[in-house]
C-alpha cells in the first residue's frame, strides 16, 4: 500500500468505495474489517465523511454512501440511469392506456426526449426521437416551462412563435395562463395544439440527486384518447412521476 493510499484521504476513499459496492450498508466493525483499518480510525473517518454527506448513517446503525456520492454518480451518468429507471414506469402507462409515453427534459428552449415507450397496437401516435418540441405548444414543454424562473420565462417569451395548428396558443397572455394552470395543477395539457388531432398530458419531477427537471408525458389520437377520463390519466401520470422520483432516491 502506498503512502498516499494510507493517508487520511486515501483511507476515506477506500471506505467510500467499500460502501458503494455494498449498497445494503455495513456496520462500523464490518467496514473496519473490509478496509483493514482500526475501529478508531474508521470511526474518525466516518465522522468526517458523514459531515460532508459522502456517507450516511441509517436507522439500523449501518453506513451507506451519502447524497453527495449519489449526486456525483448521477452527474457522471449524464441521465443514462434516469432513462433506464424510467423505462418500466413508462411501460406501465403504455400498458394501461395503449398510448405512447415518454420522458423528456429541457434542452435550451426546446424539449429533448430521454426515453420512450411505445404501444404494440398499430395506428397509434409515436414520439419521434430528436424531434424539436416547443415549450409553449407541447404538454411536456408547458410543464417544463412552468418549472422555470420568471426571468427564464420572460426571456423565452421574447422568442419568435408560430402556430402549428389553428389551436396553437401564440399570444403571450394565453401562454402565461397555461403556465399558471400547470403550476397550480402540476399537469399540462396539449389538445390539438402541436400535432393535429393529438391529445397529450404531462407532469414533472426533479431528479432528487441533481435537481434536473424531467417531464413524463403520454399522448394519443384525440378521438380515441379523449374518451378516457382526463382525471384518471392525470392521476396516473402524477403517480408515475412519484414512483420514478422514489427510484432515483435509491442508492
- pLDDT tens figures, 185-226: 999 999 999 999 999 999 999 988 888 899 999 999 999 999
Both 127 and 211 in one domain: the answer is yes
Residue 161 sits in a domain whose CATH number is 3.30.450.40
- Look at residue 145 and give its three-state secondary structure: helix
Report how far residue 4's alpha carbon sits from residue 64's, in angstroms, rounded to the nearest whole number.
24
Is 70 inside a domain boundary?
no
Q: Is residue 3 situated within a structural domain? A: no
Angle of helix 39-51 versus helix 8-21 axis, rounded to 10: 80
Residues 106 and 228 in one domain: yes
At 28 the three-state DSSP class reads helix
71 assigned to some structural domain: no
Measured between alpha carbons, how far apart are the two ends of the chain, in Å?
29
Higher pLDDT, 5 or 63: 63
**Residue finishing a domain among 24, 40, 65:** 65
Pair (140, 38) in one structural domain: no
Task: Identify the helix (H) or strand (E) that includes residue 204.
Answer: strand 198-206
* Same-domain status, 152 and 214: yes
The answer as to whether 31 is a domain residue is: yes
Is the residue at 47 inside a domain?
yes
Range of the domain at 237: 77-249
| More confidently predicted of 6 and 130 | 6
pLDDT of residue 250 exceeding 80: no
- Residue 70 pLDDT more than 50? yes
Residue 12, pLDDT score: 87
DSSP per residue, 216-232: EEEEEEHHHHTTS-HHH
CA-nearest of 212, 139, 206 to 179 is 139
**Which are the contacts of 42, defined by CB distance < 8 A and separation ≥ 6?**
15, 28, 31, 32, 35
DSSP string, 62-126: -EEE-HHHHHHHHHHHTTHHHHHHHHHHHHHHHHHHSSEEEEEEEETTEEEEEEEE--SSTT---
* Torsion angles phi and psi, residue 246, rounded to 5: -65, -40
Is 92 within the bounds of a domain?
A: yes
**What average pLDDT does range 7-33 have in this prediction?**
88
Q: Which residues pair with 203 in a beta bridge?
A: 216
Query: 3-state class of 215 per DSSP?
Result: strand
pLDDT for 208 equals 84
Q: Give how many domains the chain has, as a whole number.
A: 2
With CA atoms as reference, report the closest residue to 212 among 110, 78, 46, 33: 78
Q: How confident is the model at residue 2 (pLDDT cuts 50, 70, 90)?
A: low
Residue 86 CB coordination number (10 Å): 27
Amino acid at each position: 500500500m502506498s503512502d498516499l493510499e494510507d493517508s487520511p484521504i486515501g483511507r476515506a476513499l477506500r471506505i467510500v468505495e467499500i460502501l458503494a459496492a455494498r449498497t445494503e450498508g455495513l456496520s462500523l466493525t464490518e467496514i473496519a474489517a473490509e478496509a483493514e483499518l482500526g475501529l478508531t480510525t474508521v470511526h474518525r473517518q466516518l465522522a468526517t465523511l458523514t459531515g460532508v454527506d459522502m456517507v450516511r448513517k441509517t436507522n439500523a446503525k449501518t453506513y451507506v454512501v451519502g447524497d453527495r456520492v449519489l449526486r456525483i454518480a448521477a452527474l457522471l451518468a449524464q441521465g443514462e440511469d434516469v432513462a433506464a429507471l424510467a423505462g418500466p414506469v413508462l411501460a406501465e402507462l403504455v400498458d394501461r392506456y395503449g398510448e405512447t409515453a415518454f420522458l423528456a427534459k429541457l434542452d435550451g428552449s426546446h424539449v429533448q426526449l430521454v426515453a420512450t415507450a411505445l404501444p404494440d397496437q398499430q395506428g397509434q401516435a409515436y414520439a419521434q426521437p430528436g424531434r424539436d418540441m416547443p415549450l409553449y405548444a407541447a404538454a411536456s414543454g408547458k410543464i417544463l416551462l412552468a418549472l422555470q424562473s420568471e426571468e427564464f420565462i420572460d426571456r423565452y417569451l421574447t422568442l419568435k412563435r408560430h402556430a402549428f395548428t389553428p389551436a396553437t396558443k401564440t399570444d403571450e397572455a394565453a401562454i402565461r395562463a397555461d403556465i399558471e394552470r400547470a403550476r397550480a395543477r402540476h399537469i399540462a395539457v396539449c389538445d390539438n395544439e402541436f400535432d393535429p388531432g393529438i391529445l397529450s398530458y404531462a407532469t414533472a419531477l426533479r431528479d432528487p440527486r441533481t435537481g434536473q427537471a424531467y417531464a413524463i408525458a403520454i399522448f394519443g389520437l384525440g378521438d380515441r384518447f379523449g374518451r378516457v377520463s382526463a382525471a384518471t390519466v392525470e392521476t396516473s401520470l402524477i403517480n408515475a412521476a412519484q414512483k420514478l422520483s422514489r427510484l432515483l432516491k435509491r442508492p
